[in-house]
Amino acid sequence: MLVAIVSDIHGNRHAFEAVLADVASTGAGELWCLGDVVGYGADPNDCCALARENAAVCLAGNHDLAVTGTIPLDEFSHGAALAARWTQEVLADDHVEWLRSLSPQGDEEGVGLYHASPRDPVWEYVLSTLLAELCLDVAEERVCLVGHSHVALSFVRPEGEAATGDTRRAGDALDMSDGEWLINPGSVGQPRDGIPTAGWMLLDTDAGTATWRRTAFDIAAVQAAMTRLALPERLVARLAYGL
């Protein structure tokens, strides 16, 4: 089955709609979301509606859990907490209840799904081979998908060898038929790998392959909406740089 993998949408409707249009051109049979549907951006209600309509699987991210009150806002940076409080004020009750129904981890088609990591599905940022090794040690599945870091990357541990890792760019493709894998599709709504386009991935569960994609969206429109709502300026500015 060909599956589109998205993560870290963060209330960015323009990016999510652009990715969904791109996904529609690929023939993907399902969409899986690794969490953080809401969090920073100006359109949390629209993004929840789009995720509910289009995602066959959706996890809860740490920002989703903060908005529902499951984890305290004092665990977040100042800007993230301000955005979460605003989101709490505007998010429709049925979307809140939907977010509350989600889990930060799951599995589909033999693939482990985690918002952050197999060791800590809510908070751990897997950005080093050391952390990837520790995560692969506890993962029950040979192939795991993670989000949270907003960086498109992959880690692999061949049998009997140490893990290695690479950041991923548009068009990169992997054959995952051997070894243990930890894969991040990148962020739809707030990329942090220096590329200001929406990051996502195509996973072929039958062939065991992964291909990274990038989709352009109207960054200026997103920034204007956030500024109009007085969301934190740092969150607005970083969109232009993918940082």
Of 109, 160, 115, the residue nearest 135 (C-alpha): 115
Q: How many CA atoms lie within 13 A of 153 on its CB side?
A: 23
pLDDT surpassing 90 at residue 215: yes
Is position 216 within any domain? yes
Angle between helices 13-24 and 44-54 in degrees, nearest 10: 20
Is position 38 within any domain? yes
- Residues 104-130 pLDDT 10s: 999 999 999 999 999 999 999 999 999
Mean pLDDT of 215-242: 95
In sequence order, what DSSP letters do the residues of 149-189 get, joined into one string? S---EEEEE-TTS--EEEE--TT-EEE-SSSEEEEE---SS
Q: Show the domain range for 99.
A: 2-238
- Residues 32-68 pLDDT 10s: 999 999 999 999 999 999 999 999 999 999 999 999 9
- Residues 138-197 pLDDT 10s: 999 999 999 999 999 999 999 989 999 999 999 999 999 999 999 999 999 999 999 999
Is position 91 within any domain? yes
Predicted pLDDT at 75: 86
Domain count within the chain = 1
Predicted pLDDT at 84: 95
Looking up tokens 């520790």, which residue turns up? 134
Predicted pLDDT at 184: 98
Contact 84, 62 (CB under 8 A): no
Is position 77 within any domain? yes
**Chain Cα centroid distance, residue 167:** 15
Q: What is the CATH number of the domain that holds 190?
A: 3.60.21.10
pLDDT surpassing 90 at residue 243: no
Looking up tokens 């993998």, which residue turns up? 5
- Residues 68-116 pLDDT 10s: 999 999 889 999 999 999 999 999 999 999 999 999 999 999 999 999 9
Other C-beta atoms lying within 10 Å of the C-beta of residue 62 = 23
Is position 100 within any domain? yes
Predicted pLDDT at 208: 94
Q: Which helix (H) or strand (E) segment is 108 a member of?
A: strand 105-108
Is position 115 within any domain? yes
Of 7, 5, 75, 89, the residue nearest 42 (C-alpha): 89
Is position 243 within any domain? no
